[in-house]
């Protein structure tokens, strides 16, 4: 691991989210601004302290628009990361890099999305270009259609079953039942309900798919030396490290153009993350896995080395399985392109999750593993 400046280590000093809903009743710009103001308040900072803003490319409000809405005096650092669900940790990493380089001391990262009330992005007419020209004529129109093909491959290759996917859906629903802010807080789920639910794209049923949600969340990152002087309301969560990866021939929502059929970009992210953090799987206490679809969870545990190749389904059924998606994740808390996983990672380290893991020292958070993506580790102690 590279020797780093302890004073410049990025720290999550504040997080905030608006209540999730099917119709939030305001624009994404409005809800995003409110989430940022709430996170700044949690951190003991004001708008005048903000020096950097980063966002998802798929965030229609730009950094400059948000700076104007909030009244930020000057942005010294700004930028965006591409690929929807893969952009969560990379967007945080972009802000962290600026802090580590000494370019800024305070950065804001946010995601606001009216996914429920604003409609689905693939519902309208789309140009038949790029990968679309090869997929849409054969009915691969929605994200779930592409994932269904890969899920069937994984099932045939490793013997995974629908019950294995159901176990993921039931586990995260249990976490959501303990989380009063989760969309599925009051709705329990068992295997009989799971198996009886309607198919969306065989072999994936209703409960294998993430929610459709309006939501807005933000985090505030500060340099460790600045964090000591803040009146933050909660303990710091240190960003121990992060990694990004694309892999070859990767397109949105499909893993079947590169040489490793069924492999995800996480096969490139994982070794970089362990190298950059100086950690290994046995050091991690809790994980927040991008879960737009249930099969992504067992695949994560394999690709990050928590178990062997093909053993992901057996691992999640075992007593050794780490707690995952402890707020309910995209399947049962809310779907905000995975940003709620980053916020939950901070909660676990700060000690106020509704499914708190005792003495959690390190939490790993990932982005979507069927697009160029990234991962990060949040920790209780500094480097």
Residues 6+ apart with CB under 8 A from 359: 285
Structural domain contains residue 315: yes
Average pLDDT over residues 284-309: 97
Q: What is the CATH number of the domain that holds 273?
A: 3.40.47.10
Mean pLDDT of 304-313: 97
Are the C-beta atoms of 207 and 189 separated by less than 8 Å? yes
Looking at the domain assignment, is residue 165 inside a domain? no
Query: Taking 80 as the threshold, does the pLDDT of residue 21 lie above it?
Result: yes
Q: Give the burial class of 274: count Cβ atoms within 10 A of its Cβ; 0-12 exposed, 13-18 middle, 19 or more buried.
A: buried
Q: Residue 139: pLDDT band by 50, 70, 90 thresholds?
A: confident
Quick one: what percent of the chain has pLDDT higher than 90? 84
Asked if residue 204 is part of any domain, the answer here is no
Residue 2, pLDDT score: 57
**In a domain? residue 148:** no
User: pLDDT by residue (tens digit) across 223-275?
Assistant: 999 998 898 889 999 999 999 999 888 777 777 777 888 889 999 999 999 99
Residue 1 — pLDDT band, cuts 50, 70, 90? very low
Number of structural domains (the chain) is 1
> Average pLDDT in the 119-143 region?
68
Collapsing DSSP to helix, strand or coil, 101 comes out as coil
pLDDT digits (tens, 9 = 90+) for 92-102: 999 999 999 99
Residue 218 sits at the vertex; the CA angle it makes with 364 and 9, to the nearest 5 degrees, is 55
Structural domain of residue 217, as residue ranges?
Answer: 6-118+212-379
**Per-chain mean pLDDT for the chain:** 93
Tell me, yes or no, whether 98 lies in a domain.
yes
Alpha-carbon distance of 249 to 178, in angstroms, equals 40
Tokens representing 359 are 């003495």
16: exposed, middle or buried (Cβ count in 10 Å: 0-12, 13-18, 19+): buried
Q: Give the residue-averaged pLDDT of 298-310.
A: 97
What does the pLDDT read at residue 126? 52
- Give the span between the Cα atoms of 292 and 252, in whole angstroms: 13
Contacts of 258 (CB under 8 A, 6+ apart): 247, 248, 249, 250
pLDDT tens per residue across span 153-191: 999 999 999 999 999 999 999 999 999 999 999 999 999
* Residues 300, 307: Cα–Cα separation, whole Å: 10
Give the separation between CA 168 and CA 180, rounded to whole angstroms: 20
To the nearest 10 degrees (0 to 180), the angle between helices 339-350 and 88-100 is 60
Tell me the C-alpha distance between 274 and 282, whole Å: 11
The pLDDT score that the predictor gives to residue 59 is 93
- The residue assigned the tokens 């899920």 is 151
3-state secondary structure of 160: coil
**Is residue 322 one of the residues assigned to a domain?**
yes
Mean pLDDT, rounded, for 305-312: 97
Tokens at residue 301, please? Answer: 């545990």
- Tens digit of each residue's pLDDT (9 = 90 or more) over 361-372: 999 999 998 889
pLDDT at 134 over 90: no
Q: How far from each other are the two terminal CA atoms of the chain, in whole angstroms? A: 10
192 found inside a domain: no
Q: How far apart, in whole angstroms, are the C-alpha atoms of residue 289 and residue 287?
A: 6
- State how far Cα 167 lies from the chain centre: 20
The model carries a pTM of 0.95
3-class DSSP state for residue 201? strand
pLDDT at 286 over 50: yes
Q: Is the peptide bond before 203 cis (omega within 30 degrees of 0)?
A: yes
How far is the C-alpha of 114 from the C-alpha of 96, rounded, in Å?
27
pLDDT of residue 123: 53
List residues with catalytic annotation.
290, 335
**32-41, 130-139, 258-267, 304-313: which has the minimum mean pLDDT?**
130-139
Domain for residue 131, yes or no? no
Place 115 in a pLDDT band, splitting at 50, 70 and 90: confident
């Amino acid at each position: 691991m590279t020797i780093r400046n302890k004073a410049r280590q990025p720290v999550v000093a504040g997080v905030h989210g608006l209540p999730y809903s099917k119709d939030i009743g305001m624009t994404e710009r409005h809800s995003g601004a409110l989430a940022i103001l709430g996170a700044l308040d949690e951190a003991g900072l004001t708008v005048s302290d903000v020096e950097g803003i980063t966002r998802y490319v798929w965030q229609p409000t730009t950094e400059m628009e948000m700076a104007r809405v909030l009244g930020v005096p000057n942005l010294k650092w700004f930028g965006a990361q591409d690929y929807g669900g893969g952009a969560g940790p990379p967007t945080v990493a972009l802000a962290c890099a600026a802090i580590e380089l000494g370019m800024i001391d305070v950065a804001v990262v946010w995601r606001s999305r009216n996914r429920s009330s604003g409609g689905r992005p693939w519902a309208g007419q789309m140009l038949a270009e790029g990968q679309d020209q090869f997929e849409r004529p054969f009915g691969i129109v929605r994200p779930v259609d592409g994932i269904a093909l890969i899920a069937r491959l994984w099932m045939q290759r490793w013997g995974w079953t629908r019950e294995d996917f159901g176990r993921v859906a039931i586990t995260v629903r249990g976490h959501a039942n303990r989380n009063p802010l989760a969309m599925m807080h009051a709705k329990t789920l068992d295997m009989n309900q799971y198996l009886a639910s309607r198919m969306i794209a065989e072999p994936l049923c209703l409960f294998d798919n993430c929610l459709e949600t309006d939501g807005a969340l933000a985090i505030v990152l500060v340099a460790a030396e600045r964090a000591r002087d803040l009146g933050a309301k909660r303990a710091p969560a240190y960003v121990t490290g992060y990694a990004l990866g694309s892999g070859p021939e990767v397109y949105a929502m499909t893993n079947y153009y590169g040489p490793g059929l069924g492999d995800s970009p996480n096969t490139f992210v994982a070794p970089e993350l362990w190298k950059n953090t100086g950690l290994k799987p046995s050091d991690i206490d809790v994980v927040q896995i991008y879960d737009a679809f249930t099969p992504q969870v067992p695949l994560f545990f394999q690709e990050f080395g928590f178990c062997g190749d093909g053993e992901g389904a057996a691992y999640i059924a075992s007593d050794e399985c780490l707690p995952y998606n402890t707020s309910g994740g995209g399947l049962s808390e809310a779907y905000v392109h995975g940003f709620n996983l980053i916020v939950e990672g901070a909660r676990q380290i700060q000690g106020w999750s509704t499914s708190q893991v005792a003495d959690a020292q390190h939490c790993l958070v990932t982005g979507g593993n069927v697009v160029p993506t990234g991962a990060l580790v949040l920790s209780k102690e500094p480097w």
